[in-house]
Amino acid sequence: MAKASLTTAGHGPDLNRRRTTRSVGENAIRALLALAAVVSVVTTTGIVIALARDTIEFFKEVGVGDYLFGTDWAPLAGGGQQSFGVVPLVYDTLYLTAVGLLLAVPLGLGSAIYLSEYASARARRLLKPALEVLAGIPTIVFGFFALTFVGPEVLKTVLKVEVGTFSALSAGLVLGILVLPTIATVADDALSAVPTSLREGAFGLGASRMQVSLRVVFPAALSGIVAALVLGASRAIGETVIILVAGGAVANLTGDPREPMQNMAAFIAQTAQADIPTQGTEYNTIFAVGTTLFVITLLLNLISIRFVRKYRQVYE
């Protein structure tokens, strides 16, 4: 009965259904491979549980409103000075990201337009991997660069900006150098995916190369470019070491980029290194901040995936 129904269901002669040594082996391999795919799902589940468990502990001690809207961030202070308002930390994270993007967005998009619309095929084949070399440099090296070169040499000596050892400006600018190749390569992919016929049409109507680039290709690739920017922003928001080394050790509610600033990831790293008991509210701050960071980057990533899907639908 079962066999007959399978055949009528359109599976044809039911050769594979017979259990042979061969088919048992094949199925075992399939199951084993699927098991490996489960590892990534388990990873996500693990991240969520690891963050949620101690975040719940944290919110037993600290009010959700006090955390989300409090403007005084001093979780490790002693003697009644302790305060858990996360606003300064989130503000600094976004501020540093904004400084980085201010540098990386124009330069990254400029590089992308050059690679996709101006460079010869040969130059592009050489230049793009070279840009990826920049993307492959470990962030600790960028941190070193920000602390020992960009801060004291470039900002202080050459540009005469009064910065201390740690400043939002030096950390933020180097953050920009870090995300520049990400924005450039992803935006270049989006621009190159625009069909040549659109360019030819515009050239045929007498448009110049600049007009074609800015008014035809750029708008056509807009959703892919937005995805590139969101990806860059998400990398900058989650960066740890550059800020840890060159940004400073305090979260500051200030508009002055010459002041030190700390972002969420650097706070987590600093607190994990600090000599505090691994139980209690101080330590659980790591997880509450981790959850905040995770949620922000997750939202950004979902937005970016949506934009990428949209631009694929149009031209494929």
Q: How far is CA 172 from CA 89, 163, 202, 223, in A?
A: 15, 13, 39, 26
DSSP state of 263: -
Among 87, 98, 107, 253, binds another protein (CB under 8 A): 107
Residue written as tokens 């990398």?
A: 235
228 binds another protein per the rule CB under 8 A: no
| Beta-carbon count within 10 A of 250 CB | 16
Binding to another protein (CB under 8 A): which residues in 129-168?
Answer: 129-131, 133-134, 136-145, 147-149
| CA–CA separation, 20 and 181 (whole Å) | 53
293 binds another protein per the rule CB under 8 A: yes
From residue 179 to residue 218, the character string flagging contacts with another protein as x (rule: CB under 8 A) and all else as - is -xx--x-----------------------xxx--x-----
Q: How far is CA 141 from CA 108, 134, 245, 293, in A?
A: 20, 11, 10, 23
Nearest to 223 by CA among 231, 235, 213: 231
Give the 3-state secondary structure of residue 136. coil
Binding to another protein (CB under 8 A): which residues in 16-35?
Answer: 22, 25-26, 29-30, 32-35
Binding to another protein (CB under 8 A): which residues in 85-104?
Answer: none
231 binds another protein per the rule CB under 8 A: yes
Residue 277: CB minimum distance to another protein, A: 14
From residue 243 to residue 282, the character string flagging contacts with another protein as x (rule: CB under 8 A) and all else as - is -xx-------------------x--xx--xx---------
Residue 53: CB minimum distance to another protein, A: 8
Question: Nearer to another protein by C-beta: 81 or 313?
Answer: 313
Nearest to 290 by CA among 47, 20, 8: 47
